[in-house]
Structure 1
């Protein structure tokens, strides 16, 4: 994996974590909702795991956001 690809996955993961925390949800809350192991969500949020589009949709639904919000790297908050 290239450095650029690692940065891209990390940026997506950070946005997922930021949006999850904004909704006051823990990783365990989201994992219980979507039937995922906490270690997998942690790996996604830390950019260590390439996530499928269907998993992104499940996470977005559990958090109450749109999938496209995970890709908004310019947002400040």
Structure 2
């Protein structure tokens, strides 16, 4: 993975975490809603795991934002 790709994944992960926290949700809360293991969500939020488009959609729906918010 290139440095640019690493930066991209970390940026998306930070934005997911930021939006999740702004809605008052813990990782466990969100995982319960979208039926995901906490370790997977943690890996996504820390940029260690490439998130799929469907997972992004599920996360966005669960916290009430548009998927595009994760890319800003």
TM range (shorter): over 0.9
Counterpart position of 1:41: 41
Q: Residue in 2 aligned with 1:7?
A: 7
Listed as ranges, the gaps of 5+ residues in structure 1 are 73-77
Q: Which residue of 2 aligns with 1:30?
A: 30
TM-score between both structures, scaled by the size of structure 1: 0.92
TM-score, length basis structure 2: 0.99
Residue matched to 1:54: 54
What RMSD in Å do the two structures reach over aligned CA positions? Answer: 0.4
- TM superposition outliers: structure 1 runs of 4+ over 6 Å: none
Following superposition, the deviation at residue 2 of structure 1 comes to 0.4
Q: Deviations over 1:13-55 (max 9, x none)?
A: 0000000000000000100001000000000000000000000
**Higher helix fraction (1 or 2):** 2
* Count of residue pairs the alignment pairs up: 72
